[in-house]
C-alpha cells in the first residue's frame, strides 16, 4: 500500500452507550503506512473511537453505532458494519493491543501459535514459523528465543506488551489499533515500544492512543485531539515540529 492511500475512512461516526452519545459525528481518514495518534482528556472518547474500528463497542450491551466506517482490505473497501465481512475476520484484519498486556496462561510460543492455528488454520509447523517471524518483527526474538516454552506471564511487562504486539502482527492485520500501549510500563520499556512503533509504521497503518504528548509528537504523522466526543484539532508533522503548537496543546489537555 502506498503511503498516500488511506487504510480506513470514518464518516459521521456516532457511538452511544445506553442512549448517551459519546462520539458525536467523527470524520477521519486513516492513512496507510503512517501513525495516527489520538490524544485527549480522560473520557473524551479515544478508546471508544478505537473500538469502533473493529466493532468492539458491540460487546457492551446497549451500545449503538451509526455513520460509516470503511476499511481498505487489499484493493477493496469494505463497510466494517456491513454484511460483507464477518466480525471475526474484521477483528483479525484490524488488530488491537490494549493498555495492559492480555496474554493467556500458556507458554510464550503457544500464545502465538494457538490463534494462528485457530484463526488462520495453520498447521503446527507453519504456526511455529509464523510465530517466530512475528517475534522478530516485534523486536522480541533475541530475548525469548531460548524461553519459548516458559509461561508468557513470567516475561517482563515490556516483553509481555511486545508479545501482544507480536500476536496481533502474526495475524497479518491491515490496521493496528493500540490503546495507550505504554501506559503500564516503565520509562525504558515504554521507549522500547515507542521505537518499535516508529519502525512498524513504515509497513502498517497504526492508530495509537497516547497519554504522553511528547511521545505522541515523536510518533505521529497525524495527531488528533479529541474533546468531548469530537475532533477538536488535527495536526500534521509540520505543526508538531513547532514547539509552540505543542505548548498550546499541553495547555488545552492538561
Ligand X SMILES: Nc1ncnc2c1ncn2[C@@H]1O[C@H](COP(=O)(O)OP(=O)(O)OP(=O)(O)O)[C@@H](O)[C@H]1O
> How many C-beta neighbours within 10 Å does residue 195 have?
13
C-alpha cell at 98: 490494549
Question: How big is the site for Mg ion, counted in residues (CB under 5 A)?
Answer: 1
Q: How far is the CB of 48 from ligand X (least distance, A)?
A: 3
Which positions touch ligand X (CB under 6 A)? Answer: 17, 22, 40, 42-48, 60
Q: Between 101 and 115, whose beta carbon lies closer to ligand X?
A: 101
Q: Report how far apart, in Å, the C-alpha atoms of 165 and of each of 70, 173, 178, 227 are.
A: 23, 11, 9, 28
Q: Between 59 and 188, whose beta carbon lies closer to ligand X?
A: 59
Among ligand X, Mg ion, none, residue 95 binds (CB under 5-8 Å by kind): none
Q: Between 24 and 117, whose beta carbon lies closer to ligand X?
A: 24
Among ligand X, Mg ion, none, residue 173 binds (CB under 5-8 Å by kind): none
Per the listing, cell 478505537 goes with 50
Among ligand X, Mg ion, none, residue 82 binds (CB under 5-8 Å by kind): none
Enumerate residues 36-65 that contact Mg ion by CB under 5 A: 47
CB 205 within 8 Å of CB 176: yes
Neighbour-count burial of 251, counting CB atoms closer than 10 A to its CB (0-12 exposed, 13-18 middle, 19+ buried): exposed
CB 77 within 8 Å of CB 67: no
Q: How far is the CB of 92 from Mg ion (least distance, A)?
A: 23
C-alpha cell at 215: 511521545
Element (H, E) at 231: strand 230-236
Measured distance CA(210)–CA(218) in Å, rounded: 11
Q: What share of the chain is helix, strand, coil (3-state, %, to 5)?
A: 40, 30, 30
Among ligand X, Mg ion, none, residue 40 binds (CB under 5-8 Å by kind): ligand X
Output the residue with the shortest Cβ distance to Mg ion: 47
> How many C-beta neighbours within 10 Å does residue 11 have?
13
Enumerate residues 5-24 that contact Mg ion by CB under 5 A: none
Q: How far is the CB of 163 from ligand X (least distance, A)?
A: 22
Q: How far is the CB of 176 from Mg ion (least distance, A)?
A: 17
Q: How far is the CB of 143 from ligand X (least distance, A)?
A: 29
Q: Between 43 and 214, whose beta carbon lies closer to Mg ion?
A: 43
Residues making contact with Mg ion (CB under 5 A):
47
Amino acid at each position: 500500500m502506498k503511503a498516500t492511500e488511506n487504510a480506513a475512512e470514518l464518516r459521521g461516526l456516532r457511538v452511544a452507550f445506553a442512549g448517551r452519545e459519546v462520539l458525536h459525528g467523527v470524520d477521519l481518514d486513516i492513512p496507510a503506512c503512517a501513525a495516527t495518534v489520538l490524544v485527549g482528556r480522560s473520557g473524551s472518547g479515544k478508546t471508544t473511537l478505537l473500538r469502533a474500528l473493529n466493532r468492539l463497542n458491540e460487546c457492551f450491551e446497549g451500545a449503538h453505532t451509526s455513520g460509516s466506517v470503511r476499511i481498505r482490505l487489499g484493493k477493496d473497501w469494505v463497510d466494517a458494519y456491513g454484511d460483507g465481512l464477518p466480525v471475526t475476520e474484521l477483528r483479525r484484519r484490524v488488530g488491537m493491543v490494549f493498555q495492559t498486556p492480555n496474554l493467556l496462561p500458556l507458554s510464550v510460543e503457544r500464545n502465538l501459535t494457538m490463534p494462528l492455528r485457530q484463526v488462520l488454520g495453520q498447521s503446527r509447523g507453519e504456526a511455529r514459523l509464523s510465530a517466530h517471524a512475528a517475534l522478530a518483527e516485534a523486536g522480541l526474538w533475541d530475548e525469548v528465543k531460548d524461553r519459548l516454552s516458559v509461561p508468557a506471564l513470567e516475561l517482563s511487562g515490556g516483553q509481555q506488551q511486545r508479545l501482544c504486539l507480536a500476536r496481533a502482527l502474526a495475524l497479518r492485520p491491515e490496521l493496528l489499533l493500540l490503546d495507550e500501549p505504554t501506559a503500564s510500563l516503565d520509562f525504558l520499556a515504554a521507549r522500547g515500544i515507542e521505537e518499535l512503533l516508529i519502525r512498524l509504521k513504515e509497513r502498517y497503518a497504526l492508530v495509537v492512543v497516547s497519554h504522553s504528548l511528547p511521545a505522541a509528537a515523536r510518533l505521529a504523522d497525524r495527531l488528533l485531539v479529541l474533546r468531548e466526543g469530537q475532533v477538536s484539532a488535527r495536526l500534521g508533522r509540520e505543526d508538531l515540529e513547532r514547539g509552540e503548537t505543542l505548548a498550546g496543546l499541553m495547555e488545552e489537555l492538561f
